[in-house]
Amino acid sequence: MALPPPDPQFVLRGTSAAVHTLHFSCGGPERDIPLLFSGSENGFIHVWNLKTRRVDTALDGHGRKSVYCVETMGGKDRLLSQGRDQRICLWDLAEGRTSVTDSVFTEHVGFCRCSLLKVAQGRWLMAMAARSLEEVQILELPSKTSVCTLKPEVGAKLGMPMCLKLWQLNCDSQPVLLAGYEDGSVVLWNVSMGKALSQLICHQEPVMSLDFDTEKAKGISGSSEKVLSIWSLNEQQNLQVYKTHELVNAGISDITIRPDKKILATAGWDHRIRIFGWKKLKPLAVLDYHTATVHCVSFSDHSNPQQRLLAAGSKDQRISVWSIYAQT
Amino acid sequence: VCFIPDGLDCSISFVSHVLGKVCVHGRQKEILGVLVPHLTDLTKSDCIWQRICWRLVECVPDRWMEAVVLGFVQRAPGADVLSRLLGNLVVKNRKAQFVVTQKMLLLQYGHTTAVLQNLLGYLSLDSLRRTLLLRVLQELLETWSSSSAVKHSPAEQQLYISKAILICLSHLKEPEIESCRQELLTSMMEGVKCHLDSSLTQLRRLGMVVAESISSKINTEGPVLKFEYEEDDETRELKSLLVQTPPFCVVPSLPDDDRSEKAGAALPLVPESSEKPHTAAPAMPDEELDAELDSDDDLTPYDMSEDKELKIKTPVYIRDCIEVLTGSRAEDVDKWEATVKALESLVRKNPAATREVSVELAKILLHLEEKTCIEGFVELRQRAQVAILTTDPIPVAKYLTSQFYSLNYSLRQRMDILDVLVLAAQELSCPKFHGKTKHSGAQKPCIQLLPGSDSSKDWRRIVDERIKSKTRRFDMGRSHVELASCPNEFNSVAGHFFFPLIQHFDRPLTTFDLLGEDHLVLGRLVHTLAILMYLAVNTVAVTAMGKALLEFVWALRFHTDSYVRQGLLSCISSLLLSVPTDRILADMTEELLETQSWLGDVMEKDPDGDCRRLALQNLLLMENLKKKLEAVPS
């Protein structure tokens, strides 16, 4: 007899707007306060103290336009946020400051979240959708120099890039980018050479979100239809479909694989969070708490596995935080 | 008659006279049937024979010239042959010019496409004659773009002229088009306007095809005019005329007047098998054994039985539906969609509850606009309206008919009202088997984007069936299944549907003038009245309806729009079929006699083919009536 799904460990209220993005920062030393960053539709970034479960700071840097991506850059003192005001802001949050140190004007009017990759100490690569419809630009941070622009060939008709993931196999290898596009295909780009290595049509509808497991060279993508697509990368750097999984209700906003690569979580338009085992995509749980579309899910980076959490942000303005499969 | 090729300078005027006399007596086929093939062969390469041939036709006296030229144009197997046979006759002889450029193109319209190709091809083959070609084109365009011609000339003539225009265009060269570009443009604009104003589908399509062709010729670079219409054989044939086939293949003559087959019949498109362009590479087999330990087994799934498809709760009560449909909250769009989809069945399942709020619901539905993109929204709305009307006919009919004549409705809404009334009347007047109505009805419950000229086609079919059923049978045939009888629900409400519609047609409102510009709606109204009359057979009010309808028809019988006239003739048909014979003879004899003479007039003189056919059918029905009278022993 299977147990009923667990309830959230706690729920964070107080954003007063739909939550679009979440990012944990709990990996620091023991005495550091575990934090959760959330970006909302009203343009605020809230810094939640997970001990007190209250907002420590609210950052207003996007002119009240929706914030749809937040990431930390090497610790909780440096934050990157992306908003609908077409800007990416870099924040300095050390010692209680809340200032924007730098910003990049992307001229991108869509919703494609940028992707960060640390390539060396103090050097980052950032992939973001650019002004031109189908292009992805790679910038180096903090210098903001353009590394390359990834343009699909003429007539490819991929549409807008919808989601990006920069990764590299290990510190010495070339960085590559996985990009999901509006026409339902996922393209693997070689960043240094600026050309596409492989393209795979995974969905009939736009790819809403994707995540990739570098160790197993396997990735998963979700779309606005009912199918989750799992694909793999072979030695020739070619993408192949591995399997597909049909969902009960259509529409996935976000997918994320837990850092230990054991489970993954999907945020659905049907208000539900689904947990699957990563190895075989075995459905494990359906968490039904929210009353509106779930926009984002995120796993925490706690060093103590027992404390690991899963957070989900929804249009109903709540952030639910769960402790699930933390014992393994 | 065989010629002796002797190369002498002989006079052939005698032969011309003979030829002319024979042709004018109507023997063109016989003599030219022999002569033309001979001459074709002889003139193929021999210049002298060509000149002899030219002399032959030139010497035909003027009074017989027409017959000869006509014969040649019809018999020649191609434009180049015609050119060899006639030479520059049209330039030299005024009578021949008149026949070729005016009479055959503008005054007659019975010739086949092949003849047109011959004629116009002939004009284009010589530089002397090309000026005539341009002149011909201008005159054709003038006719094509004149609004009175579009309104009053028969459809067959308009088709003929359109074909001629397209063939002319196909022969024109760039510099010539350049020189008359401005006139082409002006005529096209005027002509398109007149054609699109017409209530008949075929004329509108003709206008669109010709305008598109003209536009493509004058705008070789840049955007061309493109209309949206259903392609059928006629349009395809017309478009094919724009491209000239090489001279030696004979153009087969295509049938011109298959309107009855073509109307509304588009060729079924081959359904493309929509293969989803799925994965780029074959999927790796699932059975690939995982050598590693399956650590997923450690993770026990939770209970997921609650995970079902997300269903929006559809309302169960009629009053809830009203709330949802009139509510303005933006978040309730899912609920709104579910309500619209569920409304018809709710109305039918809860007649008592519907009757309490019927007029309110009818009002809401009449003004309901599409909030989100539902498939088949118009049909869903229409079916819900029909359901409400059949559940509570009298108040809702009163409401709808009063709204038909009110201010501030669009033409589309007024026509929707008519459609709903007809569908509901159909449902009410039919005996129900298994809950379904089995009428080979005049209008199907679907979106009528074009005025139902279909209804006049179906009318013919229905009237034909009825006429057949009234003919005497000496053989009983197979016994038919006895239909279950039930009371005619339309009986008590027929008057409520009919009379309010017929009452105010001559009272113009600021935004709605049936007798003026809105003749499209008038046409639909007339057709609706015809259908209501037909469905009112066996009701008590049928005689009163008949009398009112007869007066209505009489007042409008000279209307200029042929769609309206078709409707009026359908009204007469349904009248004759529905009103019991003895009542017709008792109450309406004088009016019917007058109608009979009007029908005779229509049958002979009306420019529209459908009107003539309907008038003929009505006269037949009246004959049947008379015969029945005489058959009854007094």
Q: Which of B452, B394, B441 is nearest to B418 (CA)?
A: B452
Question: What's the confidence (pLDDT) of residue B281?
Answer: 34
Question: What's the confidence (pLDDT) of residue B34?
Answer: 79
Q: What does A117-170 look like in DSSP terms, one character per residue?
A: EEEETTEEEEEEE-SSTT-EEEEEETTTEEEEEE-PPTT----SEEEEEEE-SS
Tokens found for residue B39? 């001459």
Q: With bands split at pLDDT 50, 70 and 90, how would you rate the model's confidence at A296? A: very high
pLDDT (average), residues A298-325? 92
- Partners of residue B296 in chain A, C-beta under 8 Å: 262, 277-280, 282
Do the Cβ atoms of A284 and B283 come within 8 Å?
no
Question: What's the confidence (pLDDT) of residue B633?
Answer: 57
Question: What's the confidence (pLDDT) of residue B480?
Answer: 54
Whether the Cβ atoms of residue B466 and residue B276 lie closer than 8 Å to each other: no
Say what percent of chain A tops pLDDT 70.
99
In three-state secondary structure terms, B632 is coil
Residue B9 pLDDT greater than 80, yes or no = no
Q: Give the nearest partner residue to A249 out of B298, B300, B310, using CB atoms.
A: B310
Which residues neighbour A40 within 8 Å (Cβ) at sequence distance 6 or greater? A15, A16, A17, A18, A19, A20, A46, A66, A67, A317
Task: Indicate whether A312 belongs to any domain.
Answer: no
Measured distance CA(A294)–CA(A267) in Å, rounded? 5
Residue B475 pLDDT greater than 80, yes or no = no
Say what percent of chain B tops pLDDT 70.
79
Q: Which of B104, B116, B117, B3 is nearest to B53 (CA)?
A: B3
Q: What is the mean pLDDT of chain A?
A: 90
Do the Cβ atoms of A240 and B283 come within 8 Å?
yes
Q: Give the nearest partner residue to A277 out of B280, B299, B310, using CB atoms.
A: B299
Nearest Cα residue in chain A from B279: A201
Q: What is the pLDDT of residues B574-628, one digit of tens each?
A: 888 888 888 887 888 888 888 888 998 888 888 888 888 889 888 888 888 888 7
Whether the Cβ atoms of residue B215 and residue B170 lie closer than 8 Å to each other: no
pLDDT (average), residues A186-214? 91
Distance from the B324 Cα atom to the nearest Cα atom in chain A, whole angstroms:
20
Q: What is the pLDDT of residues A161-180, one digit of tens each?
A: 999 999 988 878 889 999 99
Do the Cβ atoms of A240 and B279 come within 8 Å?
yes
Residue B286 pLDDT greater than 50, yes or no = no
pLDDT (average), residues B286-308? 62
Residue B290 pLDDT greater than 60, yes or no = no
pLDDT (average), residues A211-224? 92
Residue of B15 and B143 predicted with greater confidence: B143
Whether the Cβ atoms of residue A68 and residue A84 lie closer than 8 Å to each other: yes
Question: What's the confidence (pLDDT) of residue B469?
Answer: 63
- CATH architecture of the domain B487-631 equals Alpha Horseshoe (1.25)
In three-state secondary structure terms, A70 is strand
- Partners of residue A263 in chain B, C-beta under 8 Å: 299
Q: With bands split at pLDDT 50, 70 and 90, how would you rate the model's confidence at B328? A: low
Whether the Cβ atoms of residue B67 and residue B105 lie closer than 8 Å to each other: no
Distance from the A255 Cα atom to the nearest Cα atom in chain B, whole angstroms:
19
Q: What residues are paired with A25 via a beta bridge? A: A35
Residue B478 pLDDT greater than 80, yes or no = no
Do the Cβ atoms of A288 and B307 come within 8 Å?
yes
Question: What's the confidence (pLDDT) of residue B248?
Answer: 43
What are B's interface residues with A at a Cβ cutoff of 8 A?
A: 276-284, 286, 290, 294-296, 298-304, 306-310
Residue A71 pLDDT greater than 60, yes or no = yes
Do the Cβ atoms of A199 and B280 come within 8 Å?
yes
- 3-state helix, strand, coil split of chain B in percent (to 5) is 65, 0, 35
pLDDT (average), residues A248-253? 91
pLDDT (average), residues B81-86? 82
What's the longest Cα–Cα distance across chain B?
116
Q: What is the pLDDT of residues B480-494, one digit of tens each?
A: 555 666 777 888 888
Do the Cβ atoms of B304 and A325 come within 8 Å?
no
Selected residue of B310, B311, B312 to mutate for chain A interface (largest A Cβ count, 10 A): B310
Q: What is the pLDDT of residues B264-273, one digit of tens each?
A: 333 333 333 3
Selected residue of A229, A246, A249 to mutate for chain B interface (largest B Cβ count, 10 A): A249
Range B318-429 has CATH code 3.40.640.10: no
Residue B321 pLDDT greater than 50, yes or no = yes
Selected residue of B276, B286, B299, B308 to mutate for chain A interface (largest A Cβ count, 10 A): B299
Tokens found for residue A183? 């026409």
Q: What is the pLDDT of residues A26-62, one digit of tens each?
A: 887 877 889 999 999 999 999 999 999 999 999 998 9
Measured distance CA(A116)–CA(A119) in Å, rounded? 9
What are A's interface residues with B at a Cβ cutoff of 8 A?
A: 1-6, 199-202, 204, 232, 238-243, 248-249, 262-263, 270-272, 277-280, 282-286, 288, 325, 328
pLDDT (average), residues A280-302? 92
In Å, what is the CA distance from B613 to each residue of B69, B159, B257, B457, B572?
34, 19, 14, 11, 13
Q: What is the CATH number of the domain that holds A195?
A: 2.130.10.10
Question: What's the confidence (pLDDT) of residue B256?
Answer: 39
Q: What is the pLDDT of residues B20-55, one digit of tens each?
A: 888 788 777 777 787 888 778 877 877 777 887 887
Residue B112 pLDDT greater than 70, yes or no = yes
Task: Indicate whether A241 belongs to any domain.
Answer: yes
Lowest mean pLDDT among B213-227, B374-388, B422-436: B422-436
Consecutive H or E run containing A38 = strand A35-40
Q: Give the nearest partner residue to B283 out of A242, A262, A277, using CB atoms.
A: A242
pLDDT (average), residues A115-130? 90
Residue B455 pLDDT greater than 60, yes or no = no
Measured distance CA(B550)–CA(B457) in Å, rounded? 22
Do the Cβ atoms of B294 and A262 come within 8 Å?
no
Question: What's the confidence (pLDDT) of residue B76?
Answer: 82
Q: With bands split at pLDDT 50, 70 and 90, how would you rate the model's confidence at B329? A: low
Q: With bands split at pLDDT 50, 70 and 90, how would you rate the model's confidence at B279? A: very low
What is the pairing mode between strands A185-190 and A176-181?
antiparallel
Distance from the B216 Cα atom to the nearest Cα atom in chain A, whole angstroms:
28
Measured distance CA(B457)–CA(B435) in Å, rounded? 27
Task: Indicate whether A79 belongs to any domain.
Answer: no
Say what the ipTM of the complex is: 0.74
Question: What's the confidence (pLDDT) of residue B330?
Answer: 61
Selected residue of B278, B289, B295, B296 to mutate for chain A interface (largest A Cβ count, 10 A): B296
- Partners of residue A286 in chain B, C-beta under 8 Å: 302, 304, 306-307
Q: What residues are paired with A246 via a beta bridge? A: A227
Question: What's the confidence (pLDDT) of residue B278?
Answer: 36
In three-state secondary structure terms, B528 is helix
Do the Cβ atoms of B303 and A3 come within 8 Å?
yes
Q: What does A243-309 look like in DSSP terms, one character per residue?
A: EEEE-SSS-EEEEEE-TTSSEEEEEETTS-EEEEETTT--EEEEE---SS-EEEEEE---SSGGG--
Residue of A274 and A130 predicted with greater confidence: A274
Residue of B573 and B277 predicted with greater confidence: B573
pLDDT (average), residues A216-243? 90
Cis-peptide, bond into residue A142, ω within 30° of zero: yes
- Partners of residue B279 in chain A, C-beta under 8 Å: 200-202, 240-241
pLDDT (average), residues A203-212? 94
Whether the Cβ atoms of residue A321 and residue A10 lie closer than 8 Å to each other: yes
Question: What's the confidence (pLDDT) of residue B283?
Answer: 36
User: Which residue range is the domain that position A150 belongs to?
Assistant: 107-246
- Partners of residue A201 in chain B, C-beta under 8 Å: 277-280
Which residues neighbour A268 within 8 Å (Cβ) at sequence distance 6 or greater? A247, A249, A251, A252, A253, A274, A293, A294
Question: What's the confidence (pLDDT) of residue B479?
Answer: 52
Count of beta carbons in the 10 Å neighbourhood of residue B433: 12
Residue B392 pLDDT greater than 80, yes or no = yes
Lowest mean pLDDT among B336-345, B443-452, B610-619: B443-452
Question: What's the confidence (pLDDT) of residue B464?
Answer: 65
Do the Cβ atoms of B309 and A248 come within 8 Å?
yes
Residue of B475 and B43 predicted with greater confidence: B43
Q: Give the nearest partner residue to A279 out of B281, B295, B300, using CB atoms.
A: B295
Q: What is the mean pLDDT of chain B?
A: 77
Nearest Cα residue in chain B from A249: B309
Nearest Cα residue in chain B from A327: B299
Measured distance CA(A26)–CA(A274) in Å, rounded? 23
Residue ranges per structural domain of chain B: 1-108, 129-219+229-244, 318-429, 487-631
Do the Cβ atoms of B295 and A288 come within 8 Å?
no
Residue type present at position B386: V
Distance from the B372 Cα atom to the nearest Cα atom in chain A, whole angstroms:
18
